[in-house]
Amino acid sequence: MTGVAFTARLRPAAGALGRSADRVASHFVVALAVVVGVQMVLTLILFLSVEHNGWLTYQGGDQIWLVTSGWLLGQGTLPYALVGPAWPVLVTPLTWITGASSVQLLPLTTTLQVCVLGPIATLAVYDIATRLAGRAAGIWCASAWVLAPFLAIPLFVDRYQERWTDQVLVQALGLTQLADYPSMVVVLVSAALVVRSLDERSLREAVLGGSLAGLAIGLKPANMLFLIGVGCAYVLARRWRTALVFSLALLPAIVTLTIWKQRGTGTIPLFTLDETRVAASSLHASVLPLAEGFWTRFPLDLEDWKRNMSNLREFFWSARLAQWVPLAGAFAVARRSLPGAGLLLGWAFGYIAVKGSSNVAGIENASFWRLVMPALPAYVMLAAAIPLLVPTLPRRLGARIAAAAPTRRPGRRLVIAVVATLAVVPTAVVLAATPSTGSAKAIEVNGILVPVDGGTVTLTVQRQGTAARLTWTDATARADTFYRVFRTQGPGADAVCSGAGSERCELEMITLATTRDRVFVDSSPEAGVTYRIGVAANWLDDPEQGDVFALSPPVVAR
């Protein structure tokens, strides 16, 4: 077939596509409402179809530490600052309603993420695409964003599809309490504001974008990788003043994160070398402490990258296609906006190359997807832009894919209110909290910070001859639970605490039993031993798995 004949055959399709684009652009509000409605329905279908225990889906365990930290802040106590400060600060008011139990909090966090953050993410994708290529492109990208997670399912081999739905999609669609989903949404909204600041040369959008980028860093410090894309966009657009304003708006969040780490751990991890590295190379460490500390946390390991790509070939339909999609999409976007292409490609590259090459990232166990989750919106938009590479198609679509005209700018009062809130509230909460001392309120169980919450579980110990009879209550109502019975080896402390900032207390007890009953008899304990009950649950309701999410106060057997 000659090129002329092929072009002639494309004309009717291009005409139909153009008319469809016109209809979508003229009714974009209705189209967006349909897209968001489909998003809600698909998320509900996913939740009902995957393995779950009440409201509890696959989580991973980190959510317990995050919720416990928020609950402690609500009690005026600064926890050991292993995680970022933003998510604990945000869930603090919710813990005043539900208490310390992460399981009891699930209905609130899930509803807020699915019904509020989910639509916000879709609208942010629409806004970015609209700014680059018009309203029809905005609806196209928003639709791709909603459908892509589900369209990807059959592209994986059969044995991986369940892992994709049960472990990856539940996190990518907001059905967990981990900080990954809200951080992805905040990064996405910040990116939309960056595009607006490029388009309209507006400093207000840059201030808001920088403040939200700071919030994303507070949610997960690894979101500093997003700044690679932002830097590329401002450099390519030569918006030096806008870039400076964006950078200044980041500072309050960086200050809050520094205070949080300093008061909560006694150190600032970014500037602290691992002891083994100091011993191995004291001269190098003394010369480059900042660089060494940075690369310890943001490694670029070629061998780990090759391992992940090898696993991608094993489980995915075409690893080469997945790798080349963002490059092809960036070329398509560059034909519309070079700074926009720099933003999307730098944004995606930062996470996929750096976090994807980490030794804790794995395709096989699905941890890779969680670590690169903030980059998924950029990846989807780059993939959705590939049709613009079809010869003559952009020319035939013409003004239909022209960048949208500037819209109403955010008001000055709104900008001041948002920036002041994001700058003042987290810092005030962190400064007002008192570093934790002792093990009265929270203890680490198997490396996870667990609240000592008498409101969730209350233990009573009674003597029956030489035996001790334990009975307890459990207020958990959002998932089926089971219990771990803990006891000290003999009289003495049940936890060991240490730390330069907030003390980090680890449980020093043996596990006597795992049971679904609320009664346990210890046949012949030594006098003066201490007991605790740990309430545990998991998505499979399997007593052999799952993490303890609440501990009873200690009870000494007299």
pLDDT of residue 293: 43
536 in Cβ contact with 548 (< 8 Å): yes
Which pLDDT tens digit goes with each residue over 346-388? 999 999 988 888 888 889 888 899 999 999 999 999 999 998 8
Q: How many CB atoms lie within 10 A of CB 111?
A: 12
Residue 556 CA from chain centroid, whole number: 40
In the prediction, which pLDDT does 2 show? 55
Beta bridge mates, 520: 470
Could you give the CA distance from residue 439 to residue 492 in angstroms, rounded to a whole number? 13
Place of tokens 């059959």: 154
Q: Is the predicted pLDDT of residue 238 greater than 70, yes or no?
A: yes
- Residue 461 three-state SS: strand
What does the pLDDT look like over 145-199, one tens digit per residue? 999 999 999 999 999 999 999 999 999 999 999 999 999 999 999 999 999 998 7
What's the pLDDT tens digit per position in 456-509?
899 999 988 888 999 999 999 999 999 999 999 888 888 998 877 888 899 999
Distance in angstroms (rounded) separating the CA atoms of residues 149 and 450: 33
pLDDT at 270 over 60: no
Q: Give the mean pLDDT of 206-220.
A: 94
How confident is the prediction for the chain on average, in pLDDT?
86
pLDDT band at 280 (very low <50, low <70, confident <90, very high): very low
Q: How many contiguous H segments (helices) and E segments (strands) does the chain have?
A: 22, 14
Reduce the secondary structure of 367-429 to three states and give it as a string: HHHHHCHHHHHHHHHHHHCHHHHCCCHHHHHHHHHCCCCCCCCCCHHHHHHHHHHHHHHHHHH
Of 45, 268, 70, residue with least CA distance to 169: 45
